[in-house]
Amino acid sequence: RGRGFESRRRHPARGEAEAQRARARLRRRFLRALAAARGRPARFWLRAGVRVDATFGAADREAAALLVEALRTPLGLQEAALLRGPDVLCFRFPLP
């Protein structure tokens, strides 16, 4: 995927190296955030005004799917479920 990976036109080599460093710093922090979320109770806001509570599990590489546990639905408790990334607007979890 080319997202955020375009080369800089003016100073291709220097620009690309800087962009690569920035990309690595940002991604490293994001992966730490996901690691911190693991096993924590989280609230998910989905499309069409749906809001659900679950325990955060993991996300795949592009956050195209989120694995959750103990998902509380009107039909009962789902031990494990996948939320489709495009259906999720945001999620929130507390850190102690």
Partner 1 sequence: MNEWQKKSPLEWETYLNKLVKVAVIEKHECEGWVLTVDPVSASIVLATFPENESVSISVVLGHAVEEVEILKEGDDEMEQRLSCIFAPEESKAYSP
Tell me whether residue 67 is exposed, middle or buried, using C-beta atoms within 10 angstroms of its C-beta: 0 to 12, 13 to 18, 19 or more: middle
**Using rule CB under 8 A, residue 9 touches partner 1:** no
How many angstroms separate the CA atoms of 80 and 55, rounded?
A: 9
Q: How far is CA 23 from CA 18, 56, 85, 94, in A?
A: 9, 25, 21, 26
Complex with partner 1: residue 49 or 76, whichever CB lies closer:
49
Which one of residues 29, 74, 76, 79 is an interface residue with partner 1 (CB under 8 A)? Answer: 29
- Give the total of residues touching partner 1 (CB under 8 A): 38
**Using rule CB under 8 A, residue 12 touches partner 1:** no
Complex with partner 1: residue 75 or 90, whichever CB lies closer:
90
**Using rule CB under 8 A, residue 77 touches partner 1:** no
